[in-house]
Amino acid sequence: MYSTGEQVVAPQDLLCEYRVNPLGIDNPSPRFSWKVVTQERGSFQTGYQVLVSQNLENLERDIGDMWDSGKVETRQSLHVVYGGKPLRSRTRYYWKVRIWDQQGRVSPYSAPAWFETAFLSQEDWRGVWIASPSVSKLSSAPMFRKEFLLTKEISRARAYISGLGYYELRINGQKVGDHVLDPAWTDYTKRVFYVTYDVTPYLRKGPNAIGVILGNGWFAYSLTKMHPTPQLLFQLHIEFQDGTEECIVSDRSWQVTVNGPIVENSIYHGEIYDARLEKPGWDMPGYTMDPKEWCIPIIAEPPGGIMVAQFLEPIKVVQDVIPVNVSSPKPGIYVFDFGQNIAGWVKLRVRGPKGAKVTMRFAELLYEDGTVNQENLRTARATDVYILKGEGIEVYEPRFTYHGFRYVQLEGLPEKPGLEDVVGRVVRSSVKQIGSFRCSHELLNKIQQNAFWTEANNLHGIPTDCPQRDERLGWLNDMTVRAEAALYNFDLACLYTKWLDDIKDTQDPATGAIADTAPFRGYGRRPADPVAMSYLVVPWLLHVFYGDRQILEKHYEGMKRWIAYLEKATDEAGIVSYSYYGDWSPPLTESVPGSIGAGALSATTPGVFVST
């Protein structure tokens, strides 16, 4: 609210469920927020009126045909819950708000905003999960395609997709959207995210084709079952200008092959891409399929979890980093140094003969001889391989893996590379940076910079402990001490809300115990170490930072049950009787030699003291 004289300026920066004009929400009672700004001392909001309409024309006439809140006398401008008629699936709604100040002056209405629902019921899904029938190439990336004919002019089209572990959606030869490593990781037996896209610009009257590539992602690391192959759920709704609709879904009318160029893909180990196996035009109409390679998919067993519209910021390529140096410690080996640790991958530009193999090994450290040292990665190979097709300049970057690294070592290059031939791609959840710090003391500036990049490199749908080795998990003990600092640097309202649901999914319904990591896939333990207090701390921080009371209400019972579990493990003296990690990672002089975590247990601080 900005007032000048007698004029109160309209509310600004309208949000629905923390987002600007969100596409594809499944909350039947979404929440609205707006910014109140004033330059008058002592000025504040005393009331609001929200209008929600099915169309922009009614909203512009100040008609809230879905909800007219009337004047509500309150200072609340955050998380106002929708209170109108029941919302419908796959529908766009428009809204605006005006406010009153402490003198009773009313502002004009804000500029209109909108939100669009996805599926408000599990029964809205018509498609079925499909997968490749072949289990002979478990690490390859299956490619699905579907052709269809549209005979009418298109008004609007929405695609709803979930590909486990990861997907890339393509329509008529173009990638849809800029998400990578999508959808975000969850316990797939509890919740499975799907993503909504506006695909109107990608479709056309006449022949069309859909293509989907699937990666293993975290689906290959399920705790409860082995998944022989990734699987796809897809639904496309097309509205035509004559008012009719058509729906195209994933079923056995599609075709699939496992003989594509992504020969292997793994979160930990990297990707092998053989460009000789590319299938030009496979995602375009009119493509001729080799019956020896393409077949009808099978109907796959659903993963078990409910379908949930993905509401947190997607993982994207958010920045390019140019290497600061390239060296050749041995003949035919080139090591690129990016000057700092980043999480993501590299984009390679190369030219050479067909069949030449370029190997890219990622690491944070170097040996004394200048080659990369991957010992701290444990079993993670962190290696990408590109096999050339021999057609001029070729550009490659992976789809279904990521690495934590400062250095990348290239072997097998047909020609000596230049600095411009390798570009670092920073990949993380696309949350906004909202805070920064700089002062006259350079050491403090470097500490802040290191803290920022450490947190940024560990935002991949969950707050991870590391981006490089065979772990990359959401450890609750870490977040107990990291969360507040992270919130000063990034807008983490949606990501932390999602992660709290991950924690809730780990809770034992009988005992109330939660797990050390969320999502839980066997790393750490259940019951969690008592230091895993982030299930109590993070909801409170979201309330403090964002005024989100609903997050406390949602998790209150779960937090009570976790506390009740710890109370049962507390003796008469008030000491919590168990500990796994205690005062984790003390100086080596204070640690237990040979203990877990390469000697990370404290020799001087009792674990139960830390638990208590």
Closest CA to 145 of 57, 8, 274, 253: 253
pLDDT of 24: 97
CATH 2.60.120.260 residue spans of the chain: 125-309, 315-426
Domain 315-426 CATH superfamily: Galactose-binding domain-like (2.60.120.260)
Query: What's the gap between Cα 100 and its chain centre?
Result: 38
Beta strand segments in 374-465, E? 383-387, 393-396, 403-411, 422-429
CATH 2.60.40.10 residue spans of the chain: 3-117
Beta bridge partners, 154, equal 240
Q: For residue 139, how many other CB atoms are within 10 A of its CB?
A: 16
pLDDT of 136: 60
Burial class (CB in 10 A: 0-12, 13-18, 19+), 462: buried
CA 576, CA 271: separation in Å to the nearest integer?
45
List CB contacts of 386: < 8 A, sequence separation 6 or more: 273, 275, 348, 350, 357, 358, 360, 394, 396
Note the CATH number of domain 442-568: 1.50.10.10
pLDDT of 137: 60
Mean pLDDT, residues 318-330 taken together: 97
> 434-486, pLDDT tens digit by residue?
999 999 999 999 999 999 999 999 999 999 999 999 999 999 999 999 999 99
pLDDT of 361: 98
pLDDT of 135: 66
Q: Is 558 helix (H, G, I), strand (E, B) or coil?
A: helix
**How would residue 8 be classed by pLDDT, with cut points 50, 70 and 90?**
confident
Mean pLDDT, residues 569-598 taken together: 87
> 140-191, pLDDT tens digit by residue?
999 999 999 999 999 999 999 999 999 999 999 999 999 999 999 999 999 9
> 57-100, pLDDT tens digit by residue?
999 999 999 999 999 999 999 999 999 999 999 999 999 999 99
Q: For residue 303, how many other CB atoms are within 10 A of its CB?
A: 23
Peptide bond into 183 cis (omega under 30): yes
The residue among 581 and 263 whose pLDDT is bigger is 263
CA 322, CA 314: separation in Å to the nearest integer?
24
Q: Please provide the distance, in angstroms rounded to a whole number, between the alpha carbons at the two ends of the chain.
A: 47
Q: Which pair of tokens denotes residue 470?
A: 């065979």
| Whether the Cβ atoms of residue 10 and residue 107 lie closer than 8 Å to each other | yes
pLDDT of 238: 98
CATH 1.50.10.10 residue spans of the chain: 442-568
Across the chain, mean pLDDT equals 94
Q: For residue 9, how many other CB atoms are within 10 A of its CB?
A: 17
pLDDT of 6: 60
| Whether the Cβ atoms of residue 410 and residue 422 lie closer than 8 Å to each other | yes
Domain 3-117 belongs in CATH node 3.40.50.1820 = no
**269 backbone dihedrals φ, ψ, rounded to 5°:** -95, -20
| Whether the Cβ atoms of residue 392 and residue 435 lie closer than 8 Å to each other | no
**How would residue 229 be classed by pLDDT, with cut points 50, 70 and 90?**
confident
| Whether the Cβ atoms of residue 516 and residue 523 lie closer than 8 Å to each other | yes
**How would residue 13 be classed by pLDDT, with cut points 50, 70 and 90?**
very high
> 276-290, pLDDT tens digit by residue?
999 999 999 999 999
Question: Which CATH number is correct for 125-309, 2.60.120.260, 3.10.310.10, 3.20.190.10, 3.40.30.10?
Answer: 2.60.120.260
pLDDT of 37: 85
| Cα three-residue angle 461-463-464, rounded to 5 degrees | 105
Residue 378 has pLDDT above 60, yes or no: yes
pTM, to two decimals: 0.95
CA 25, CA 16: separation in Å to the nearest integer?
10
Rounded to 10 deg, the angle between the 476-489 and 534-546 helix axes is 10
Mean pLDDT, residues 235-245 taken together: 97
Among 212-221, 495-504, 594-603, which is the least confidently predicted range?
594-603
Q: For residue 23, how many other CB atoms are within 10 A of its CB?
A: 17
| Whether the Cβ atoms of residue 182 and residue 149 lie closer than 8 Å to each other | no
